[in-house]
Structure 1
């Protein structure tokens, strides 16, 4: 093996070790992943139902801005706006 090949090999080993450490650190910092089925069951118990719609991109941007402005989640904002609209 040439000297340069040996240096490349050592560098690859070092990079792999650094990547493994970062991955382990990142995994420890992330919150635990909940099971999707458990999440659906919890939401169902709260009376929440998934409701998918397709909206214009401009409208979505307005909703996102309003959500940030009010400091509420998108689901809560859309539910509030729908309730107000249906009540009128």
Structure 2
């Protein structure tokens, strides 16, 4: 390999590491406060939570997000409560 190729590869490695390091604090939390995805999955599993993906219309999602923001709640909690109400009724 040429010296320029080695320098280019080194630069790509540095850029990759910079991109990975920035993701932990991009949501405004300190790096130690936000668990990574694997840890979050373990925490969710311990609480008995199971990921459940559905496809919804855009206007329905907008309504859910607005309602969650006005009530200052997590959207997961809001959807769970609405599903419980709907299934009970």
Shift of 1:39: 1.2
Deviation at 1:38, TM superposition (A): 1.4
Q: How many residues align?
A: 63
Q: Structure 1 length normalisation: TM-score?
A: 0.63
Q: Which segments of 5 or more consecutive residues in structure 1 lack a partner in the other structure?
A: 1-23
Question: How many Å apart are 1:52 and its aligned residue?
Answer: 0.5
Q: Kindly report which structure 2 residues correspond to 1:8-47, keeping only aligned pairs within 5 A, or say none.
A: 30-32=29-31, 33-47=34-48
Indicate the structure (1 or 2) with the bigger Cα radius of gyration: 1
Q: Write the mapping of 1:1-88 to structure 2, written as runs, cut at 5 A.
A: 30-32=29-31, 33-88=34-89
Runs of 4+ in 1 over 4 A off after TM superposition: none
Measured on the aligned residues, the alpha-carbon RMSD in Å equals 2.2
| Unpaired runs of at least 5, structure 2 | 1-21
